[in-house]
Amino acid sequence: MHSFNSCNDRSRTYAPGHCPAYSNASLPDDRWHCRAAHAALRSDSEIGPSLFDQVKAFFQNAGFRATVPVLTLISGFLLFRTGLDQQWHKLATKKARTILVPFLVFNLGLLAAAYALQRATGITTSYELIPFDARTWLDAAFGLTRSPINYPLNFLRDLIVLMLLAPLFGLFLRKAPWLGLAVVALVFLNNVDGLLVLRGLMPVMFYIGGMAAVRRWNLQALDGYAWLCLAAFVLSCLAMLHWRVTNVTYLGLVAPFLIWPAASLLNGSAVGRWLQQQSKYSFFIFIAHAPILLVTWMVFQKLSGHVPYVVYWVGAPLLVVALLTVVYRIAAYLMPSAFAFITGGRAARGGESDQRRATPELAGGHSPH
């Protein structure tokens, strides 16, 4: 268990260099493979002296660690903005379709593939599926006490729990918002909830997102300080790197309030328009990328004598994104209804988002919410 003074990620119960899904694949200790576990367990001496090592550590140990808090806050804002927490049946029905179905399809699908691979080749994973063990299979399938076998989906696993807690959070938000924030922080940042939520920071950011919605915060209040916010975030990440800070809780608490105003710099720009056009692919890439990325690493191992690691580190994610974008287009064309169903209805929208960053609403892409 991890307390507030550690990384506050209770899913990190595996050894350095090993993903929750794959144990003997000799995965690299970098941001593309189990980045949460590796950043938490990495020792100071593992950050090399080269410029590439420093850049990699900047993103892996700090910059990219802000993504979950930002996405969680946005998810909370979107849910409580619509008052969905007060419509329990509608909340359950919608979230079963948009979150639970993709989680089950892409996690159970990978579980079946891993089981077939283990039976056929004997390749073992951190989830040793043979011989059968009920607890191992329940964890691998549903992430009951640790990350599911499709390890990025631990975010959806925790988000499902937060959706169940949303009506209770909503009562606090409308009756005693600041007391509710104190209770949520006390319970989850100190792991009082046990393994109910694996990332203790998520309920806090989800609740704060709800506060922004219910109390109608001005989401553009800091846009005039966008460059200053961006600089503050970069300097915070550099400071974590310089002093080898492994506790990312504090960065996670402030990152959304720096990144959101900084994102306004993209308003009206060609880059911003391009990103919004590509945002329809984001959720599918998120839920499907892990096994593909593993395959790229296994291929790289065969070619490592000829391909520099920096080329792989930069190129592999770009290759995976390009490949899954093509898969998305083909699947959406050949089986639009089925593909929309397994992605939670997102593909059916044709990439049109109901979230617009240019207004006080949210924009760009399909939030896991």
**Residue 322 is encoded by which pair of tokens?**
């390009």
Cβ 279 vs Cβ 364: under 8 Å: yes
**Nearest by Cα to 263 from 313, 227, 316:** 227
- Burial (CB < 10 A; 0-12, 13-18, 19+), residue 217, is middle
How does pLDDT run across 49-80, given as a tens digit for each residue?
899 999 999 999 999 999 999 999 999 999 99
This prediction's pTM:
0.84
**Residue 140 is encoded by which pair of tokens?**
């691998």
Cβ 292 vs Cβ 113: under 8 Å: no
Q: Where are the alpha helices (DSSP H) in the chain?
A: 35-41, 51-61, 67-81, 88-95, 101-121, 134-142, 154-175, 177-189, 201-214, 226-242, 249-263, 270-278, 282-303, 309-334, 336-342
How does pLDDT run across 71-125, given as a tens digit for each residue?
999 999 999 999 999 999 999 999 999 999 999 999 999 999 999 999 998 876 6
DSSP string, 296-351: HHHHHHHHTTTS-HHHHHHHHHHHHHHHHHHHHHHHHHH-HHHHHHHTTT-GGGTT
- Burial (CB < 10 A; 0-12, 13-18, 19+), residue 51, is exposed
| Low-confidence spans in the chain with pLDDT less than 70 | 1-46, 124-126, 348-369
CA-to-CA distance for 94 and 328, rounded, in angstroms?
22
Handedness of CA 57, 63, 66, 71 (dihedral sign): negative
How does pLDDT run across 21-31, given as a tens digit for each residue?
333 333 333 33
Amino acid at site 206: F
